[in-house]
Amino acid sequence: MRYFIAVAEEMHFNRAAARLHIAQPALSQQIQRLERELKTTLFARTTRSVELTETGKVLLVAARRVIMESEDALRSIEQAVEGRTGTLRVGFVGSAALNLIPRIVPPLRQMYPDLELELHELTTEQQLSSLEAGNLDVGIVRDVESRPGIAARELTREPLVVALPEDHPLAGQTTLALTDLSEAGFVVFPRQQVSRLYDVISALCLQAGFRMRVAQEAVQFPTILGLVAAKTGIAVVPEGMRALQLQGLGYVPLADEAATSTISLIVTTERSGTPLIRRFIEAATEFASMEPPTH
């Protein structure tokens, strides 16, 4: 088809042959073979000129369309092989939506416009189960380390802060030590639902010499913070939660440098090297260090 298009556009066999970098007799043979296959005449030839027949004009339109579609298909295949296109199912914990997802998703979509991201808010435990079941490609989770079958890659370490009623005796402090919280009641996630962050906070309290006393449980960060504002207790939350400003609520940083929560990407080890997932991990790791977009 490329030979036919070249002759049709040049209207001259010698010029078409030069354009295609082949000998003119070889080009003539290819066109004659095409005409025999189609059982029609494509060019009206004289000693001085070459013109398309009506059949040739119809074929030229179709041939250009076929070449364009073939080139588009090849580009799509190349992009898929390189991990630049396709559908990626990404899970994320809700707390990552406040500051991490805005850093990752917009520049990723700008860099790979043909990549379709399916975003699913899930707990860490739900993401681990979905990955193993093949219902998720990548997860963004808290406080998970690599384990057999699951590879974890750290994106960022987020400091933990204390959320407390704004009239609490400790609310005016610049920073707080964990020992300052030994007599407080904590508003926490139920351990059976969000065990990772619960265990991190519980372990920090034990290291500070006391056992965390649970005053109230809740299943969403906004609910936890609302209960703190209602003076039900205090809460230790990731720093990104400071974006949620509620009346009657204040935040104080923890002085302990070990008081952090790690956000990581997780993927099954058998799929970690696929082009699409590899590109996402590389881009997400880069973008996670950037400031979120402002408007």
pLDDT tens digits, 122-132: 988 899 999 99
Which CATH number among 3.90.650.10, 3.40.50.360, 3.40.190.10, 1.20.120.1760 corresponds to the domain 156-261?
3.40.190.10
Topology alike, domains 86-154+264-289 and 156-261 = yes
Return the domain boundaries, the chain: 1-82, 86-154+264-289, 156-261
Q: What is the pLDDT of residue 12?
A: 82
Q: Which residues of 20-44 are buried (b: 16+ CB within 10 A; e: fewer)?
A: beeeeeebbebbeebbeeeeeebbe
Q: What is the pLDDT of residue 186?
A: 97
Higher pLDDT, 97 or 214: 214
What fold does the segment set 86-154+264-289 form as a domain? D-Maltodextrin-Binding Protein; domain 2 (3.40.190)
**Rounded CA separation 51/45 (Å):** 7
Digit-coded pLDDT (tens) for 51-102: 888 888 888 888 888 888 777 666 666 655 554 558 899 999 988 888 888 8
Domain 1-82 sits in CATH at: 1.10.10.10
Q: Which residues of 203-242 are buried (b: 16+ CB within 10 A; e: fewer)?
A: ebbeebeeebeebbbbeebeebbbbbbeebbbbbbbbbbb
Decide if 256 contacts 178 (C-beta within 8 A). yes
Lowest mean pLDDT among 5-14, 44-53, 226-235, 285-294: 285-294
